[in-house]
Amino acid sequence: MCPDPQEAVDWLSMLGVLRYVSPRRLTHVPVALTPYHAPQHLINTAAALSAPFQLLMHRVADDWAFLEDTLGTAARHDDFLQRLFGFRLRENSQPWRLLISRNDFFVVPEGAGRGLRQVEFNTISASFPHLAERLFRFHQLLYRHQPDLLSGLLPNDPLTPISTGIAEAVQVHGASNRVVLMIVQPAESNRMDQRGLEQRLLQQHGLSTVRATLADVAVQGKLRDGTLRLGGERVAVVYYRAGYTPSDFVHPDAEAGRCLLEASDAIQIPDLAMQLAGMKKVQQRLTSPETLARFVSESQATELLEVCAEMHSLDADSEETEFALAEATEHPERFVLKPQREGGGGNVYGAEIVKVLAEMRPEERSGWVLMERLHPVSHNAVLLVDHQAQSLRCVSELGRYGVLLAKGNEVLRLNEDAGYLVRTKGAEVDEGGVSAGYACLNSLVQEGESQVSSSMLESRSSSSSTFPVPSATAVSGSSAWKTGKPT
């Protein structure tokens, strides 16, 4: 039988799977009550791709000429991208790079079976590593009396490798009496996820974390000979959970704060080049075998291209652009129009694509890419949002966290997979961010390992007799299912 929603909320509260809906009010994070089933070989493939994709992105970020060539035109017509380029210092005294990434995939029909397609590679603020582990614990508790289901539930602890990576970065930095600086948004709703990392760094590695906005850094930070101090503490590592969206720079001091960080010797997660490497136009160029040949071997390129979706540049005066525009105008349902933004909510779908493209000047289009619309395999699920449970047809996105610590091309100290994130949403919902209010956190069951079949799980998901089905106001896409802000 399906779990009782009130019991589920109790466990979520006990585990700290919570978010702020106002400065003084907490509620549970939207979650799926039914774990997502995926083929074991695809789970293994996604995990195995973490290291090669991270190494690729490390090499891309080291190639400033490539980044300028790829993003330069877009930056001339995109104020935010132009601002990021403006932060670059020609001489950076910090040779080490730490990347905490998340590689997001859909499971899609492929021939007679199923395959993986990459949605995006996140290089900044790869959120939910703590809550992803909590979701695994949550489903363990929820299904404690159903050992058949528990046997296939995939263990998950992204914070162990992530916190270890940060601790090693502090070590190679070499400073004594140092702290980790977490850059956050002023009205952060996802603090529980961030606090989980703070706790792990303190308890397992003896590292203190200081939280500050970019504006706080400008006012409180002191820079001397490349050494950044905040509140008297020397900063060894800067971990960005903000700074990826224009709204993070609304405060007049925010830009000065980022400039101060760039001028310091702190190891940034990510550094500016790696943040730029995560832009959609870079992803689009990396779907080309000719471009990949610049960074990886032919065999590695073949491996990576197997999971890449079709993407098109919209740069002016290009034959590819003319073809892409014609296809998008005639068949907009086949595509997604994507800007150079993170945080959810910026993509354009369906007939709206034609309208948006028609209103753009040719030079403005260079800041966007056109991606084939993926159609992931759907499944039944029970989603719990604001204490209300509902069974509906869903799709799920599988992300793999990763950690890379490197010093140019000389030293590769860490490059490993770091666990998973599953986000489940209604099949008719376009966007996929949890904090943006579109999806629910979930955990993973390996098909072939559990004795409970997918059909059994789906029959549980579609049952409405064991829990109250909410009114139409709680249907996916309504205000009850879209709350919060990007983080």
Catalytic residue, chosen from 234, 423, 425, 460, is: 423
Q: Does the annotation count 423 as an active-site position?
A: yes
Catalytic residue, chosen from 19, 50, 97, 102, is: 102
- Quickly count helices (H) and strands (E) in the chain: 18, 21
Q: What span, in angstroms and rounded, lies between the C-alpha atoms of 186 and 167?
A: 26
Catalytic residue, chosen from 19, 50, 101, 120, is: 120
Q: Does the annotation count 189 as an active-site position?
A: no
Q: What span, in angstroms and rounded, lies between the C-alpha atoms of 86 and 98?
A: 22
Q: Does the annotation count 280 as an active-site position?
A: yes
Catalytic residue, chosen from 50, 125, 127, 450, is: 127
84 CB-near residues (< 8 Å, 6+ apart)? 75, 272, 275, 276
Catalytic residue, chosen from 152, 221, 278, 343, is: 343
Residue matched to tokens 């991606």 = 371
Q: What span, in angstroms and rounded, lies between the C-alpha atoms of 154 and 4?
A: 22
Catalytic residue, chosen from 280, 285, 341, 400, is: 280
Catalytic residue, chosen from 122, 313, 366, 476, is: 122
Contact 440, 423 (CB under 8 A): yes
Q: Does the annotation count 127 as an active-site position?
A: yes
Across-strand partners of 370? 312, 337
Q: What span, in angstroms and rounded, lies between the C-alpha atoms of 143 and 134?
A: 14
Q: What span, in angstroms and rounded, lies between the C-alpha atoms of 155 and 3?
A: 20
Main-chain dihedrals φ then ψ at residue 485, nearest 5 degrees: -140, 160
Q: What residue ranges in 137-196 does DSSP mark as E strands?
A: 178-183
Amino acid sitting at position 66: F
Q: Does the annotation count 156 as an active-site position?
A: no
Q: Does the annotation count 86 as an active-site position?
A: no
Q: Does the annotation count 343 as an active-site position?
A: yes
Catalytic residue, chosen from 168, 188, 198, 342, is: 342
Nearest-5° angle of CA 148, CA 150, CA 152?
Answer: 85
Q: What span, in angstroms and rounded, lies between the C-alpha atoms of 248 and 244?
A: 7
Catalytic residue, chosen from 134, 285, 338, 365, is: 338
Whether residue 270 has a cis bond before it, omega within 30° of 0:
yes
Q: What span, in angstroms and rounded, lies between the C-alpha atoms of 178 and 201?
A: 13
Q: What span, in angstroms and rounded, lies between the C-alpha atoms of 444 and 295?
A: 33
474 CB-near residues (< 8 Å, 6+ apart)? 385, 386, 388, 390, 480, 481
Q: Which residues are catalytic?
A: 102, 120, 122, 127, 280, 338, 342-343, 423
